[in-house]
Chain A
Amino acid sequence: NNSSAFPFDGEMKTVFNDPVNFNVKHPLFNAWTLWFDNPGKKANTASWSQNLKELITFDSVEEFWGVYNNVAKAIDLSPGSNYHLFKQGIKPMWEDPVNELGGKWVIQFPRNKTGEDINTLWLYTMLACIGEGFDYADEVCGAVVSVRKIFYRISLWTRTSNNREICETLGRQLKQTLGLTPVQQLEFQPHSDSIKSGNHNKEHFFV
């Protein structure tokens, strides 16, 4: 029993027992970093990475909610902005070695039909990530919410882009997490497609 390793004698108090003086918190399987970018007026690629800001890294459930409750909700971000929630050490760009061979499941939600629901959709995506709710959770790199003038977009980034079983399982579970109907078809986008234009002879996955 590892609980004897705690260096204090008193009882363990979670945030539910004592919201002010709790003395234990719930560790996450991985530490996660929340990034934010708002390209604003400058739209070229060089300035994008300059605009990308690392907001905070956290590794407990309690800290996640402290962050969530103190940053802007997705619906309040200005068009052009993105939140990126990635495992600590993985940059939210395809140039990162962990992402290089990967890809993403992408879902767009029209802004006028989605409204405040985007907050819940993004929250559920983040909870599935930090709670490690996906089968093949190790294959998840991170997730992105993008706010644009006429749509919102949620992406789930994966390490692999050629393992059908892994990619399709993650895609199906993302659909489930977001409460999408089975008829809404999603296409997987390997990052290599975004990098090179022209011929793509890769096999494409759908769920």
Chain B
Amino acid sequence: SRTTSAPAIPSAPLSALGSARMLDDLSSIQYPQGIKSPNPELNSNAEPGKFKYDRTFLMQFMTVCKEKPENLPALEAIGMEESKDDKKR
């Protein structure tokens, strides 16, 4: 459930990527079944929000985080083509 104070503006939804807050405590998170937590050894002495992540943990985001960040420039404008994978879809 979302917070109730924000008025509904259908034309300009705030993306979760832009509005989500940074975790400051990894141990506060319960990942769904089948998702591996970050290797706790990497963060045994971590300051809040200063975390290290192993590759196995990071790779799990690959197929989930597809949203284009709003501040990523148009790639044609800088002489780069969009990912060909995306064109095929």
User: Which residues of A approach B to under 8 Å, CB–CB?
Assistant: 1-3, 5-6, 8, 10, 12, 14-29, 36, 38, 40, 53, 55-56, 58-73, 76-77, 81, 124, 127-128, 130-133, 137
Contact = CB atoms under 8 A, between A and B. Distances in A.
A40 B1 CA distance: 50
State which size class the interface on B falls in: 35 or more
Interface in B1-41: 1-3, 16-17, 19-26, 28-29, 31-32, 35
A23 B52 contact: no
Contacts of B49: 27
Given A25-B22, A55-B73, A137-B52, A16 B60 contact: yes
Main secondary structure of the interface of B (DSSP, over half): loop
Closest 6 A/B residue pairs (Cβ): A65-B65, A131-B53, A3-B28, A70-B68, A132-B52, A27-B22
Contacts of B16: 15, 18, 20-23
Given A10-B1, A70-B72, A62 B55 contact: no
A60 B73 contact: no
27 contacts: A16-B35, A17-B32, A18-B16, A24-B21, A24-B29, A25-B20, A26-B22, A26-B23, A26-B51, A27-B51, A36-B78, A40-B79, A59-B22, A62-B20, A63-B65, A63-B69, A66-B69, A67-B69, A68-B62, A69-B68, A70-B68, A71-B72, A76-B83, A131-B54, A132-B42, A133-B52, A133-B55
| Residue of B48, B61, B71, B81 contacting most chain A CB atoms (<10 Å) | B61
Contacts of B22: 24-27, 59-60
